[in-house]
Amino acid sequence: MALPLYLIGARGCGKTTIGEALAEASGYAFTDTDRHLQQATGRSVAEIVAAEGWEGFRRRETASLKAVTAASSVIATGGGMVLAAENRQFMREHGRVIYLQARADVLASRLEAYPIQDQRPTLTGRPVADEMVEVLASREALYRETAHYIVNAMQTPERVVSEIMALLCLARAG
């Protein structure tokens, strides 16, 4: 069985979009840690954070990561998954980690163009463009440290998937 593929990066980098397309192209299963967490708790990320704070949410996020890890799967992780050293080590040891890298201005424009109901609450309380600059500044080193591969996520989803498939020498099973 093939190792799981973990997609990491900031909100708006395309982890879910790329993950679904990559799973389709490779014949792997697809899982999103945020979706799993929401299904398991029956609450949105915003509701979990409101009830338990970011610390409680991060604990649940780690449990979700471990629960969804399976061979031959593509796993889209929450943007802050790399904040916990335990998560960084777990992903590196259990699979291949792909950092979908994009500039803060690109991330902000994507988030502003496609607002999602029950989207994660703001981390800083500031406008999304300012927040993305701040978030990337604080997390870039963690994304790089965790990643086995870094892919330019400012390309079309099709190009990103093709690049990942080539990097990993994946061919659709069957």
Q: Is residue 174 one of the residues assigned to a domain?
A: no
Q: Is residue 99 one of the residues assigned to a domain?
A: yes
What confidence tens digit (pLDDT) does each residue in 83-142 have?
999 999 999 999 999 999 999 888 888 877 766 544 555 555 667 777 888 888 899 999
Q: Is residue 158 one of the residues assigned to a domain?
A: yes
Distance CA 174, CA 139 (A): 38
Tally of structural domains, the chain = 1
Helix (H, G, I), strand (E, B) or coil at 77: coil
**Confidence (pLDDT) at 2:** 86
Q: Is residue 98 one of the residues assigned to a domain?
A: yes
Give the confidence band of 171 by pLDDT, cuts at 50, 70, 90.
low
Q: Is residue 173 one of the residues assigned to a domain?
A: no
Give the confidence band of 174 by pLDDT, cuts at 50, 70, 90.
very low
Q: Is residue 58 one of the residues assigned to a domain?
A: yes
Sheet strands side by side (includes 29-32) = 29-32, 73-76, 5-8, 96-101, 149-152
Q: Is residue 88 one of the residues assigned to a domain?
A: yes
Asked whether the beta carbons of 71 and 27 are under 8 A apart, the reply is no
Q: Is the pTM of this model over 0.85?
A: yes
Q: Structural domain of residue 114, as residue ranges? A: 5-168
Half-sphere exposure of 89 (CA within 13 A, CB side): 3
- In this predicted structure, the answer to whether residue 77 has a pLDDT above a threshold of 70 is yes
Q: Is residue 65 one of the residues assigned to a domain?
A: yes
- In this predicted structure, the answer to whether residue 57 has a pLDDT above a threshold of 60 is yes
We report the CATH number of the domain holding residue 65 as: 3.40.50.300
